[in-house]
Amino acid sequence: MKEISCKLLVIGAGPGGYVCAIRAGQLGVDTVIVETGKPGGTCLNVGCIPSKALIHAAEEFEKVAHMAGGDSPLGISVAAPALDLARTVAWKDGIVSRLNSGVAGLLKKAGVKTVHGWATFRDGKTVEVETETGMQVIRAEMIVIATGSAPVELPFLPFGGPVISSTDALALGEVPKRLVVVGGGYIGLELGMAFAKMGARVTVVEALPRVLAQYDAELTRPVVKRLSALGIEVMTGAKAKGLSTKGDALLVETSDGKNAKVAADKILVTVGRKPVTESWGLEQIDLDKAGKFIRIDDQCRTSMRGIFAIGDVTGEPMLAHRAMAQGEMVAEIVAGHKRGWDKRSIPAVCFTDPELVTAGLSPEEAKTRGEIKIGVFPFAANGRAMTRLGEDGFVRVVARADNHLVLGIQAVGQGVSELSAAFGLALEMGARLEDIAGTIHSHPTQGEGFQEAALKALGHALHV
């Protein structure tokens, strides 16, 4: 049995874990990171990156299909396209592989030692890792738990056969003819819309009264309109009950209480994610919990001295960039720096069609804090959006009425994910409406919608 000692041990090499380890290494902290799979975690391997690759491929295929149908307003006509999903998946896997190698190289460059295997706690300072070459014991002064999350499995729809998780959906060799998506949140709609564009007949089953319930109805209206245009059937107020006897349909209780069968070749279950807290030996240490998640303070410290936790294992919002920010902060704290984490703005992006971006407070949340001003600018009045056939959507700015401090920014539209950095920066810098309105924005760009929304809130929009 081999034993090594270090100042910092990071368990999990997802976005939070590997960023924490790299930054700690840069600061001269003797660091070890343990990962059972490939570096990058869910986000890089079976989440953010591969899903966006698949979404992009679907968008490109749909564009060509419209051109082949002779209804392209651009005047472009082509022969009917064909999709080789296996080749698409291979391209996606190539991107993931390159990024895996990149993360591994960055860890090595920072002087971080990587141990491949499954870590189990012995106590608050020691873990044992079962590796291919035998048991490795690691003793550390400080430990960071960054074990991430996993798809929630429904007891009456266990994964296997026709029932698949988001991970399985990203590795399909062919487009299913009939796809039923259980769960109308962002993961389900992102993948459901992608497969609809690739030719699948898609049905979404959502138990709540509407899809994307975490966003306000005004923001999601363009997405709901697009779902209909893609031919996706949306069953709201409906509950999945299980798999049919033959395994070729989903049993559903509809909103009016009736039983129905929805034919399916594949059933994609996307009802949320759960923290990965089992099989790590956490019962050997005494960590306070917040429900299923590990409880942390504003510096990601757990209830045990010397143990931190970051990322999805600590709760919502389960976002890679949140985990990265936490990881960087913890590394600097371990290195002796005075650090805090200002989380007033953690932008969230939903890569549906059109895309959604939220940062800061929604109008409803802001109203609870006092009188507000709201400015909305529609992309139907934006020249760049017109030239991209992306007129559906808008940018919305929410600010205090008294001093015009911006409290929240939301957008829905084609490619608005790229505006999230500007939204986050504005909130972090404490921008006021006058700051945004007085900043010269490039023309013609969709970013002008941000400036125009601020101008609208001030009462003197120029282009609407």
Cis peptide before 354 (omega within 30 of 0): yes
| List of residues 6+ apart from 273 with CB closer than 8 A | 149, 150, 151, 152, 312, 318
Q: In whole angstroms, give the CA distance from residue 294 to residue 276.
A: 10
Q: In whole angstroms, give the CA distance from residue 400 to residue 38.
A: 46
3-state secondary structure of 210: coil
User: Is 443 marked active-site?
Assistant: yes
Q: In whole angstroms, give the CA distance from residue 336 to residue 344.
A: 24
Q: What is the CA 315 to chain-centroid distance, rounded?
A: 13
Lookup: tokens for 81 = 């396209």
Edge-to-edge strands, sheet with 355-360? 348-350, 355-360, 406-413, 394-400, 372-378
Q: In whole angstroms, give the CA distance from residue 294 to residue 143.
A: 14
Specify the DSSP class assigned to residue 419: G
Which residue is catalytic, options 56, 337, 443, 460? 443
Q: In whole angstroms, give the CA distance from residue 161 to residue 444.
A: 49
Q: In whole angstroms, give the CA distance from residue 316 to residue 296.
A: 12
Q: At 224, which amino acid appears?
A: V
DSSP-derived secondary structure for 300-355: -B-SSTTEEE-GGGG-SS--HHHHHHHHHHHHHHHTT-------S---EEE-SSSE
Indicate the burial class of 213 (C-beta count within 10 angstroms; 0-12, 13-18, 19 or more).
middle
Positions marked active-site: 443
